[in-house]
Amino acid sequence: MSYRVAVWGATGMAGGELLRILANHPNLEVVCAVSRGSAGKPLWHDHPHLRLWYPEMVYSSPDEAMDIPTDLVFLALPHRGAWKVAVDYRERGVKVVDLSGDFRLKDPAQYARWYGEEHGAPAYLEQAVYGLPELHREDIASSSLVSGVGCNASCAILGLAPLASTGLVDSVRMELRVGSSEAGGSPSKGSHHPYRTRTMRVFEPFRHRHLAEVIQETGLPEDLFTMTMTAVEMVRGVQMLAQVTLKEPVKEAVLWKAYRKATEGRPFWNVCPARPSHLRLPDPRFVLGSNHCSVGFVLHEDGVRLLVVSALDNLMKGASGSAVQAANLMLGLEETSGLDGAPIYPA
Amino acid sequence: MSYRVAVWGATGMAGGELLRILANHPNLEVVCAVSRGSAGKPLWHDHPHLRLWYPEMVYSSPDEAMDIPTDLVFLALPHRGAWKVAVDYRERGVKVVDLSGDFRLKDPAQYARWYGEEHGAPAYLEQAVYGLPELHREDIASSSLVSGVGCNASCAILGLAPLASTGLVDSVRMELRVGSSEAGGSPSKGSHHPYRTRTMRVFEPFRHRHLAEVIQETGLPEDLFTMTMTAVEMVRGVQMLAQVTLKEPVKEAVLWKAYRKATEGRPFWNVCPARPSHLRLPDPRFVLGSNHCSVGFVLHEDGVRLLVVSALDNLMKGASGSAVQAANLMLGLEETSGLDGAPIYPA
Amino acid sequence: MSYRVAVWGATGMAGGELLRILANHPNLEVVCAVSRGSAGKPLWHDHPHLRLWYPEMVYSSPDEAMDIPTDLVFLALPHRGAWKVAVDYRERGVKVVDLSGDFRLKDPAQYARWYGEEHGAPAYLEQAVYGLPELHREDIASSSLVSGVGCNASCAILGLAPLASTGLVDSVRMELRVGSSEAGGSPSKGSHHPYRTRTMRVFEPFRHRHLAEVIQETGLPEDLFTMTMTAVEMVRGVQMLAQVTLKEPVKEAVLWKAYRKATEGRPFWNVCPARPSHLRLPDPRFVLGSNHCSVGFVLHEDGVRLLVVSALDNLMKGASGSAVQAANLMLGLEETSGLDGAPIYPA
Amino acid sequence: MSYRVAVWGATGMAGGELLRILANHPNLEVVCAVSRGSAGKPLWHDHPHLRLWYPEMVYSSPDEAMDIPTDLVFLALPHRGAWKVAVDYRERGVKVVDLSGDFRLKDPAQYARWYGEEHGAPAYLEQAVYGLPELHREDIASSSLVSGVGCNASCAILGLAPLASTGLVDSVRMELRVGSSEAGGSPSKGSHHPYRTRTMRVFEPFRHRHLAEVIQETGLPEDLFTMTMTAVEMVRGVQMLAQVTLKEPVKEAVLWKAYRKATEGRPFWNVCPARPSHLRLPDPRFVLGSNHCSVGFVLHEDGVRLLVVSALDNLMKGASGSAVQAANLMLGLEETSGLDGAPIYPA
């Protein structure tokens, strides 16, 4: 069974990662890679690691792309640049996975608040499904418009959703540590190697935009959260370290039960065992290049203070991997198809 | 004015940093560098960057060292290995700065609890001064036995002491991010480059041993604190990110006042201005190779949740720099003598 | 079609990489992973990234391993520690791929010279095939004892063999730049993160041991070569930069012909096109995590001075990847089976 | 004795390094830091590590700067942007150290060839002195217009000049390995962290522009040289690895004599001893943050093939450090004034 897919925003970092995954995907065939600025240029000029996989393919212009029949399209476009293309494809009956932020928030008022402007196609917000298969597998499978997921949001939600379900959370002070690929492929002062390397830049004290997704998906009140961001020396990788306070002292078994129940039957979501203790809290390096998210926690002896750590590869599980996972579901394929590679470690 | 000093534990990382500082110190002269295992070997074989500064000097054995007259001795020895040497020197009337953990805690009961054994010379705990000149300048100046300071403890204390003085602190969940030099010069599985590089290893969930010093020096109850440790990709550097909750809503001005008052007249302790906002929370890179500790904070709009970030170079301000600063005071020199170099950035 | 394989030296770095490849291999099943020191311990304690792939499997002791039926065994043991095990297995009729240096050199005299002692089983040297499938595909396919290949040797040979075949080479001054994983999983002073990171340590001026393999496989006289080694900041990766002098001025077309002919039909060996010029000389990052070796060259306008650059992932193409590729051939499988993943970039 | 100096191009990387050095310089006082685009902005916004040293100083515009009396001016401007300012200052009688490439080449024809256009003020080329004090101390001391030195050129010249003086050199194939700060402070695709980090990008096969300086200063014919460039994972640092062929076999003592003679009495130029062998070839890390250049060599047993390795900090000895050293000489100060700090290691 094989489907034809297109990738928009193919010169960028999420776009390149989609091309990489699709290069080895047994059921999906890239029929076009779209770029306004690089149309006609070989794909591998931007993605030199993919030369052998796309030796001849060149970028299509948006206009050309629209004429190429596809079953599903991935949009790896900037925020606010995706929704029009998405609507266009939807009107042609093509399934869409949009990795931008345009369809993540269900509530137009929340969209306006966090993105600073009214949504251009609020009618579509309703039908769009939040594309985290670990929470919405069935809805995704039956949808034709799926939103991608913020990389930090993915990490936070997968770390906290099982806990949220217990009703025990009193406060969560999250700290997200992120690699340089999170900012995409465009150079800036902040991403300039001499300044970016080995930095520990705390660039957002309390309220990163992805918090909106965490609130929506955990169902917990905003007031419980802060979300601090630190840029650290990684290329790929997001790690959440959440300092949680519970409403009342609990036994660890309660937490184990919640995490095991949530992750059961989820091929890309797992909880680190308690032993050995030095592997209890996951390092993003242990999932590098894979579609897996690992979660670990330690409960303080007071039964109230809890540390939750989660880790994923922001280009895979945090973006393109989840997008392909969603596409698999939307097309009736195995959820894990093309995504089952083991992490590369040490790297 | 020139004094003769000896450095014990001179092959190690704090020892090497002492030798580096002293190489350019206008008033202190290294008369011997001590190593049990490397006696007779040139210093620069372990510290190749110092070849031009110590072209001929070889390590002395401990026995040889004891016969060399010195005004002051720096002990950069492992925990539990320092106190006997310290006592020995004190009995000869030589001033001692001990960088190990042996004399940091004033209370023998606390020592026994955090270090897992009774102290060997509890009588000396009383006379030893905690060697953080930002808090104990006068006591250090009049003392002959000064303890070094834990690198993480230094960072945490300098970040939190002004806040502790306000009486407003309800809880502090600290997260300390540390470079690889913190573990010293001995290789281990954890420090093996393929495993250590780019790691985000959370190796202590709640209660790092340096917490004992933070409790002692801030005077806040232990129960208020947790202290989480993450090993990150740096060689030098400690950064504390403290998620603080205050007892009641405050105005930011209250905090500014406390921090300004504490740091006033302290040459190596400074607070980052509120503007520009992207420089408000300090990066350890901005103090690399220097003896400075920078602190920054942001108060949540609720007036209760507070983020405090502090940063220093663990080998300098977190160890050997503070030790020399203390020695300067003990010998009646300028506090900043030999320590006024600007940070190296970008590096 | 499925075969049972065992991995010896499974705690080490090449062992871990074998386990990683085999975790996703469609035709090979790991029936035991052997470690003298860690018998009974779960594999994933050493290889945390593989927890989901080997959730229950524990290391077997050597004795236990010998009783487990296997079709083929991979030996990722230290030099001089492998040949006895190899002989043992061969006597039982089990196919062997030995990643150590024990069977790389065909000439016992050369072995003695480069390894500093007589070979323990010289009779087996004759039947062992040098396991670089790009040069010896047919011999490997019909052999039962295949030697692994030095990572640096692989990189150098794949970079230079096409050139050697032209008879034009007058001298080759190779420089090999290597990542930290090349030294394996055991910590040492040299691999200690504070010392190893960002180093540019030239650790061998002229004659690395792998030169013996380069001489053997290119057939060029030893006197033509020097092989300088530099340890650089990578975990995975080898890059050869060869400053070649040709015997007489040539046209570039002669070189293209030689390289194209050599690499044609070789799935893991490719030559970088001349355009775009900034991608003409390969970076190890572009093959990270993959089994590919890329080669590029630029001829000086004098037609005599030539720069050849080759790059591979030392744990994959330089060790475990080539080993699995050889095993595939020995077992009659597709050469590329389990090895066709695209590189992870950027990472 | 104190002199007033100005720094042009002060927002850039060499400019920042000048400000850093001058912050601790006992005899030079920064009276203005010039930037066209950032006039009126505090210096430390671009150079956050220097906040405590320049708490109030803001950038001057070029026009303002011209009205501020100074004894000497440092120009850290882009190539082709410096000569007019230099001429302007010279006409006012102010001494000039120009770090750009505008006055490095003595021969206008060579300038035109390597920089691709005619020089704007060829008359000044004659009077400008090439600012490498190790070769031109006396000329610099008596000059009022001194050119800075290419960072790669500095490294190569200091590595090779002693050898050139022997008349023994038959060919030199240099390979220069450079950190990311070499490209300055402006972001680009190539300097974007995800792409730049851990790269081994060979970006120039044979003829980097700095080769022109090497030819001029060693006096060797161009045809002897190639100069290959590799971008590696460092921020600061240049290392030259030169594969030299001598005209005839020599004894090592001949080389030692040449190197010792050349470096004698040169405070910032030293040769690594032959023992211990693992420290014989210098790592840029061992001079990080200092103004020192270390050189090492190993002669092949054939007496003809020679490996020369040199290392320096490109922002210090390769740019701003040499510039201050030259200024010291021009102003009659100690050559080492403000430059005698020991390297920071490990960092």
- Contact C211/C219 with Cβ under 8 angstroms? no
User: How far is the C-alpha of A221 from the C-alpha of A228, rounded, in Å?
Assistant: 17
Average pLDDT over residues C167-171: 98
Residue A343 lies in a domain: no
Total number of domains constituting chain C: 2
Q: Do C310 and C324 fall into the same domain?
A: no
C151 catalytic? Reply is yes
CATH number of the domain residue D326 falls in: 3.40.50.720
Per the structure block, which two tokens stand in for A118? 């009214």
> Could you tell me which residues come within 8 angstroms of residue D116 by beta carbon, excluding any fewer than 6 positions away?
none
pLDDT above 70 coverage of chain D, percent: 100
Give the mean model confidence (pLDDT) for residues D50-58: 98
In a domain, D340, yes or no: no
- Contact (Cβ atoms closer than 8 angstroms) between residue B20 and residue D342: yes
Give the strand pairing for C238-246 and C169-178: antiparallel
Q: Which of D6, D47, D228 is nearest to B347 (CA)?
A: D47
pLDDT at position B1 is 81
Read off the pLDDT of residues D12-27 as tens digits, 9 standing for 90 and up: 999 999 999 999 999 9
Residues B179 and B115 in one domain: no
Q: Are C118 and C162 in contact (CB under 8 A)?
A: no
Q: Does the beta-carbon distance from C191 to B188 stay under 8 Å?
A: no
Looking at residue C1, what is its pLDDT?
81
Show the DSSP H helices in D51-208 as ranges. 62-66, 83-91, 108-115, 122-127, 133-141, 151-164, 193-196
Q: What is the pLDDT along chain B (347 residues), one digit of tens a residue?
A: 899 999 999 999 999 999 999 999 999 999 999 999 999 999 999 999 999 999 999 999 999 999 999 999 999 999 888 999 999 999 999 999 999 999 999 999 999 999 999 999 999 998 999 999 999 999 999 999 999 999 999 999 999 999 999 999 999 999 999 999 998 999 999 999 999 999 999 999 999 999 999 999 999 999 999 999 999 999 999 999 999 999 999 999 999 999 999 999 999 999 999 999 999 999 999 999 999 999 999 999 999 999 999 999 999 999 999 999 999 999 999 999 999 999 999 99
* Chain A contact present for D194, CB below 8 A: yes
**Is the minimum CB–CB distance between A55 and chain D shorter than 8 Å?**
no
D9 and D66 part of one domain = yes
In a domain, A344, yes or no: no
Picking from B201, B202, B300, B310 by the largest number of A CB atoms within 10 A of its own CB, the best residue to mutate is B202
Asked if B200 lies within 8 A of A177 by C-beta distance, the reply is yes
Distance from CA of D297 to the nearest CA of C (A): 9
C-beta atoms of C228 and D237 within 8 A: no
Confidence tier at A1 by pLDDT (50, 70, 90): confident
Nearest CA in chain D to C192: D346
C175 and C254 housed in the same domain: yes
- A182-225 pLDDT, tens digit each: 989 999 999 999 999 999 999 999 999 999 999 999 999 999 99
The gap from C-alpha D112 to its chain's centroid, in whole angstroms, comes to 21
Residue C266 lies in a domain: yes
Domain containing residue B54: 3-149+317-330
A107 to chain C, closest Cα gap in Å:
35
Q: N- to C-terminal Cα distance for chain C?
A: 34
D306 membership: H or E segment, kind and range: strand D305-312
CA distance A290 to chain D (A): 18
Q: Rounded to the nearest 10 degrees, how much is the dihedral formed by the CA atoms of D159, D162, D167, D171?
A: -10
Considering only CB atoms, A173 lies closest to which of B232, B239, B243, namely B243
CB D246 within 8 A of CB D169: yes
pLDDT digit string, tens, across residues A141-196 = 999 999 999 999 999 999 999 999 999 999 999 999 999 999 899 999 999 999 99
Q: Residues A305, A253: contact at Cβ < 8 Å?
A: no
Q: What's the rounded Cα separation, in Å, for the pair C94 and C209?
A: 29
Name the residue facing C191 among B185, B192, B235 (closest C-beta). Answer: B192
- Asked if residue B158 and residue B120 are part of one domain, the reply reads no
Instruction: Locate the chain A residue with the closest alpha carbon to B194.
Output: A346
H or E element that contains B154: helix B151-164
Indicate which of A47, A178, A188, A192 best probes the interface with D, i.e. most D CBs within 10 Å of its own CB: A192
The mean predicted confidence, pLDDT, of chain D is 97
B346 within a domain of the structure (yes/no) = no
Contacts 24+ apart (CB under 8 A), A250-253: A250/A168, A250/A299, A250/A303, A250/A304, A251/A303, A252/A299
Interface touch B49/D343, C-beta < 8 Å: yes
How many whole angstroms separate alpha carbon A337 and alpha carbon B140? 66
Q: Chains touching chain D at 3 or more Cβ pairs under 8 angstroms?
A: A, B, C
Who among C177, C198, C206 is closest to D307 (CB)?
Answer: C206
Report CB contact under 8 Å: A298, B206. Answer: yes
Q: Tell me, yes or no, if D347 comes closer than 8 A to chain B by beta carbon.
A: yes
> Helix, strand, coil proportions of chain C in percent (round to 5)?
35, 25, 40
Q: Return the SS3 of D133.
A: helix
Q: Is residue C186 a contact partner of residue C14, using CB atoms and an 8 Å limit?
A: no
Q: Is D219 exposed, middle or buried (0-12, 13-18, 19+ CB in 10 A)?
A: exposed
Query: What pLDDT shows up at residue B81?
Result: 85
CATH number of domain containing D289: 3.30.360.10
C117: in domain = yes
What was the ipTM of the complex prediction? 0.96
A198, A232, A281, A285: best mutation site toward chain B, by most B Cβ within 10 Å?
A198
Q: How far is CA C333 from the centre of its chain?
A: 20
Q: How far is A13 from chain C (nearest CA, A)?
A: 8
D1 has a pLDDT exceeding 90: no
Q: Is B198 helix (H, G, I), strand (E, B) or coil?
A: coil
Which chains border C (3 or more CB–CB pairs < 8 Å)?
A, B, D
Chain B touched by D200 (CB under 8 Å):
no
Q: Give the amino acid at B263.
A: T
Q: Does the bond joining D26 to the residue before it have cis omega, within 30 degrees of 0?
A: no
DSSP H or E run through B33:
strand B28-34
- Residue to mutate among C28, C52, C181, with most A CBs inside 10 A, is C52
pTM > 0.80: yes or no: yes
Verify that B180 and B131 share a domain, yes or no.
no
> Residues C94, C69: contact at Cβ < 8 Å?
no
| B271: its two tokens | 């607070």
Same domain? C36 vs C115:
yes
Same domain? D310 vs D161 = yes
A77 SS3 class = coil
C157 and C37 within one domain: no
Amino acid D81: pLDDT: 85
d(CA D197, CA D206): 23
Q: How far is CA C43 from CA C24, C56, D169, in A?
A: 16, 8, 56
Q: Is residue B342 part of a domain?
A: no
Contact D276 B13 (CB under 8 A): no
C324-343 per-position pLDDT tens digit: 999 999 999 999 999 999 99
A45 in reach of chain D (CB within 8 A): no
**CB within 8 Å of chain C, chain A residues 221-250:** 235-236
Determine, yes or no, domain membership for C338: no
For residues B135 and B162, state if they share a domain.
no
Cα dist. B190→A279, B309, C186, D263, D345 in Å? 12, 26, 10, 42, 20
Pull the structure tokens for residue D225.
């040289």
How far is C-alpha C294 from the geometric centre of its chain's CA atoms?
14
C287: which chain A residues are within 8 Å (Cβ-Cβ)?
49
Check whether residue D10 and residue D120 sit in a common domain.
yes
Residues C288 and C175 in one domain: yes
Instruction: Find, in chain C, the residue whose alpha carbon is nearest to that of A285.
Output: C49
